[in-house]
Structure 1
Amino acid sequence: MDFELRTIPGCPNDAAAKALFSEALSLEGFAPAALAVREVRNDDEAAALNFHGSPTFAVNGRDLFPTDNEPAVTCRVYPTPAGLRGNPELGTLRSAIREAAGRSAV
Structure 2
Amino acid sequence: MHVELLYFDGCPSWATADQRLREVALARGLEVHRRLVTTQDEAERTNFRGSPTILINGRDPFATGDEPPGLSCRIFQTPEGPAGSPTVAQLHQALGSAGPPGGPDAENQTT
Query: TM over 0.5, yes or no?
Result: yes
Pair 1:75-2:52 in alignment: no
User: What stretches of structure 2 of length at least 5 have no aligned partner?
Assistant: 101-111
CA distance in 2, matches of 1:82, 1:66: 18
Q: 1:52 touches 1:67 (CA, 8 Å); kept in 2?
A: no
Alignment partner, residue 86 of structure 2: 88
User: What stretches of structure 1 of length at least 5 have no aligned partner?
Assistant: none
CA distance in 2, matches of 1:24, 1:62: 17
Alignment partner, residue 41 of structure 2: 44
CA distance in 1, matches of 2:25, 2:37: 22
Report how many residues are paired: 99
SS of 2:98 mapped into structure 1: helix
Alignment of 1:61-72 (within 5 A): 61-68=58-65, 69-72=67-70
Q: 1:3 touches 1:35 (CA, 8 Å); kept in 2?
A: yes
CA deviation after TM superposition for structure 1 residue 99, in Å = 0.9
Which structure features the higher share of helix residues? 1
Moved over 2 A (4+): none
CA deviation after TM superposition for structure 1 residue 3, in Å = 1.1
CA deviation after TM superposition for structure 1 residue 101, in Å = 3.4
What's the % identity of the aligned pairs? 37
Q: 1:59 touches 1:100 (CA, 8 Å); kept in 2?
A: yes
TM-score by length of 2: 0.81
